[in-house]
Each structure stands twice: as structure tokens, then as C-alpha cells.
Amino acid sequence: MTGPSHDGDVPAPAVPGPAVPGPVIVQPMRRRHLPSVLRIEKQVYPRPWTMSLYLGELALPSTRCYVVARQDGRLVGYAGFMMSLDECHITTVAVDPVCQGHRIGTRLMLVLAARAVARGAASLTLEVRMSNRPAQELYRKFGFAPAGVRKGYYAEVNEDALVMWAHDVNTAAYGHRLAAIEATLPAPTVVQER
């Protein structure tokens, strides 16, 4: 049931743009967010998840956690995980292509990691396309290391998945890692619980 891993935290080209965007707000994914989630899903994945799949995931709050990132009233990214005992499997991380390179993926990963630890996770795992180097670099910042390859995992694009794990995420050292990552952001992330 795992989806493709995607981050999109690649550097954006330096181009003059509009005024500085507002803060990034991360909040729980709700049914009302799904049309915007599916819009992004169709842009970033060759085999996008469906409305019914997301509704099924949202119906399992005891083992699932999905969040969205909004900026200036617009949904710009989303991410989620499922828990199995003390292991957290990150199922999806996606950023609207027009917002990639603005560290939305970093913010989503910070929130996911903190929520996973709060739910008792000792380890985090995910799959990422072998060719998705920017996402792999992001995950390495979060302590993920390669642990194996799943041949043909992304059948729709005939690509293998790199399996990555981060262990001991329930330690003070990992908490310091997250704090150091957050300190590199130009402004704090606003986390809402509703």
C-alpha cells in the first residue's frame, strides 16, 4: 500500500518573483484537502493515488498520519506515514512542482519525523526512486541511510527503489538533528492541529 516517495526539494533557479511568500502552515490532511492533493499527485507521480485510496488512509488514524502544507491559502505539498509497532513507513512526500526548491519537503519531513517519534517510532523507513538524487540527499539529512534495493518497485517507469532507514529516531541525538535542520529554515513552520 506504500506509494512512491517524492520530495522535490531541489534548488530552484534564481529568478525575480513576487513578494516574499507567507509562512508555511502544516496541518492534518482532511477530506476537504483531497482535490488539491490529487491535483499535485497527478503532476508528480506516473501512477497517482486515487481519492478512494486517500479516504481509506484517512480512515485509519490510529496507524496513519497525513499532513498538508499550505502557503498563502494554497495547498503546496503533503506527506504521510503508517505505523507498524515502533517502525514508521513514510508512504508519500510530494510538493507542488511550482513550489519545489522552497524547502516545503524539508518542513513536511520535520513534521512527519516529530509525529512519528511522538507515536513511539524508533525507526523510519521509505522507498525512493534510484534516480531521485535530490530526495535522497534530503533524506540523508534526516539520518536515512541506504539499506537495500527493491527491483522494479516503480513498475510504471521501470525503475528500482532505494530502501532507506533512519534508526534510533527516539533519542535526544535525533531530536538535536531535527532542531539543527529546522534552524536552517528561513522562517519557522507553523504547525496546526486542526
Phi then psi for residue 40, to 5 deg, are -70, -45
122 in helix, strand or coil?
coil
Confidence of residue 20 (pLDDT cuts 50, 70, 90): low
24-186 carries CATH number 3.40.630.30: yes
Q: Which long-range contacts (CB under 8 A, 24 or more apart) does 55-63 make?
A: 55/31, 57/82, 57/91, 58/29, 58/30, 58/31
Q: For residue 127, indicate whether it is catalytic.
A: yes
CB 6 within 8 A of CB 44: yes
Q: Is 159 a residue of the active site? A: no
pLDDT beyond 70 at 5:
no
pLDDT tens, position by position, 90-101: 999 999 999 999
- Band of residue 22 on the pLDDT scale cut at 50, 70, 90: confident
Out of 66, 139, 153, 174, the active site residue is 139
The pLDDT score that the predictor gives to residue 93 is 96
Domain ranges of the chain: 24-186
Q: Which of 54, 78, 127, 153 is catalytic?
A: 127
Mean pLDDT of 98-121: 96
Query: What global pTM score does this model have?
Result: 0.88
